[in-house]
Amino acid sequence: MGSVRRRRGASSLVLLCAMAVLTAPGLATGTAYAAPAVPGAPATPAAPGAPLPGPGGKSLEQVRKDIEELYRQAGASTDAYNLAEAETKAQSDKIVEIANLIVAGKERIATLKSRAGAAARAQYRSGGLPPGARLALSEDPNQFLDGADRLRQGEKAASDLLSELDRTQTDLQRYAEEASERWQKLETNRVKQEDSKKQIEEKIKAAEELESKLEAEEKARLIQLEQEAQYRAQTAWLSTGAMKDVNGKATDAGKHAVQFATAQMGKPYKWGAVGPDSFDCSGLTSQAWRAAGRGIPRTSQEQLRLLPKVALKDMRPGDLIIYFDDASHVGMYVGDGAMVHAPRPGRNVTLAGAGSMPIKAVVRPDA
Rg (CA), the chain: 33
Name the phi and psi angles at 4, rounded to 5. Answer: -65, -45
**Max CA distance (Å), the chain:** 120
The C-alpha atoms of residue 231 and residue 222 are separated, in whole angstroms, by: 14
Alpha-carbon 176 to chain mean position: 30
How many other C-beta atoms can be found within 10 angstroms of the C-beta atom of residue 6?
Answer: 10
**Is beta strand 359-363 parallel, antiparallel or unpaired with respect to 320-323?**
antiparallel
Please identify which of the residues 182, 197, 341, 364 carries the catalytic annotation.
341
Query: Residue 17 catalytic?
Result: no
Report CA-CA distances (Å) from 244 to 30, 36, 230, 313.
15, 25, 20, 8
Helix (H, G, I), strand (E, B) or coil at 74: helix
Q: Do 269 and 350 meet the contact criterion of CB atoms below 8 Å apart?
A: no
The C-alpha atoms of residue 263 and residue 277 are separated, in whole angstroms, by: 11
Q: Do 230 and 353 meet the contact criterion of CB atoms below 8 Å apart?
A: yes
Query: Residue 329 catalytic?
Result: yes
CA dihedral (289, 290, 296, 297) in degrees, to 10, reads 110
The C-alpha atoms of residue 295 and residue 366 are separated, in whole angstroms, by: 10
Contacts of 195 (CB under 8 A, 6+ apart): none
Alpha-carbon 314 to chain mean position: 23
Q: Do 366 and 294 meet the contact criterion of CB atoms below 8 Å apart?
A: yes
- Closest Cα partner for 284 from 336, 346, 349? 349
Please identify which of the residues 64, 256, 316, 329 carries the catalytic annotation.
329
Please identify which of the residues 35, 70, 281, 284 carries the catalytic annotation.
281
CA dihedral (122, 126, 129, 133) in degrees, to 10, reads -100
Active site residues: 281, 329, 341
